[in-house]
């Protein structure tokens, strides 16, 4: 993925490393840290990370496109376990088939993923997956474990802005805030089905988009390389999702597509890569 970033200096790297080492704590401390991170601190962190992501990632800034996906995120978020969060969607202008979220409600979808979707529900399910991560506070839990009490008590990211820079620069590194346990990813798929169903998006679309991703793993693996650094093998996710869908009732109000979706895809096709 092409990012407009510069590597951090050696001195800054050593300073951040020493800070993290001094804040490492024990496993018991790490497991208990999240309870010390308030919602206000999480939202503050999310604002700083979103600002950094806007500087470092090539985002598509088309109001019609972002409003369309924001509306889907709001509808799904309203049915989630964190209904009061302001969910926002940002489109990354890269061909990768990837997606992620940051604390505070920011969801990032790569244009390549939108390009392979046949209907709005397929992208709605990707959004629902990220809403599930946010509602579970998965990303901030990763940060809290890494920075332990220094993050909660000293607001370390606010005191040292370079750490926010480093967090965004290393999103796909081992141990990053996106490096969730596999169980967290499977749970996010499970919650996504529940949230989307309640928001009247067809959850069967999750299996459909995963099937597409599984096929791309075989035909053009570089397009899913980023995705697979932060998610389990797609075939495993697909099997678990199919089992979950088999237990999900159907209802007549489920939407497969939205009339504006193809128009949004046409807009994206006209935007230079």
Query: Beta-carbon neighbour count of residue 198 at 10 Å?
Result: 15
pLDDT for the residue numbered 35: 58
| Least confident piece of the model among 132-136, 162-166, 178-182, 219-223 | 162-166
pLDDT tens for each residue of 133-142? 999 999 888 8
270: left (phi over 0), alpha (psi -120 to 50) or beta: alpha
The answer for residues whose C-beta is within 8 angstroms of residue 55's C-beta and 6 or more apart is: 4
Is 132 within 8 Å of 80 (Cβ atoms)?
A: yes
User: Residue 57 and residue 183: Cα distance in Å, rounded?
Assistant: 28
Measure CA 110 to chain center: 11
> Half-sphere exposure (CA, 13 Å, Cβ side) for 163?
20
- Is the pLDDT at 7 greater than 60, yes or no? no
Round the CA-based radius of gyration of the chain to a whole number and report it.
18
Does the structure show a pLDDT above 70 at 50? Answer: yes
Q: What is the mean pLDDT of residues 3-7?
A: 39
Mean pLDDT for 39-45 is 87
Closest CA to 60 of 1, 111, 23: 111
According to the model, what pLDDT value does residue 164 have? Answer: 83
At how many degrees (to 10) do helices 204-219 and 182-198 cross? 140
* Domain residue ranges of the chain, discontinuous segments joined by +: 10-270
């Amino acid at each position: 993925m092409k990012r407009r970033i510069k590597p951090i200096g050696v001195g800054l790297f050593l300073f951040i490393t020493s800070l993290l080492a001094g804040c490492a704590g024990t496993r018991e401390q790490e497991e208990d840290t999240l309870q010390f991170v308030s919602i206000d601190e999480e939202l503050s962190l999310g604002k700083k990370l979103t600002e950094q992501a806007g500087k470092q990632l090539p985002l598509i800034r088309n109001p019609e496109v972002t409003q369309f996906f924001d509306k889907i995120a709001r509808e799904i978020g309203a049915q989630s376990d964190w209904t009061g969060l302001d969910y926002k969607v940002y489109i990354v202008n890269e061909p990768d088939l990837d997606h992620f979220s940051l604390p505070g409600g920011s969801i990032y979808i790569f244009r390549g993923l939108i390009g392979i979707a046949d209907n709005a529900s397929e992208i709605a399910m990707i959004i629902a997956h990220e809403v599930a991560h946010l509602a579970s506070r998965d990303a901030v839990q990763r940060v809290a474990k890494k920075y332990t009490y220094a993050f909660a008590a000293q607001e370390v990211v606010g005191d040292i802005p370079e750490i926010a820079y480093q967090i965004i620069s290393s999103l796909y590194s081992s141990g990053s805030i996106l490096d969730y346990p596999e169980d967290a990813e499977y749970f996010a798929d499970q919650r996504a089905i529940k949230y989307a169903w309640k928001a009247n998006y067809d959850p069967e679309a999750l299996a459909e988009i995963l099937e597409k991703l599984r096929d791309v793993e075989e035909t053009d693996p570089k397009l899913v390389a980023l995705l697979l650094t932060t998610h389990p093998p797609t075939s495993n996710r697909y099997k678990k999702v199919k089992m979950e869908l088999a237990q999900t009732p159907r209802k007549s109000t489920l939407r497969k597509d939205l009339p504006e979706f193809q128009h949004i895809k046409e807009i994206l096709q006209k935007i230079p890569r």
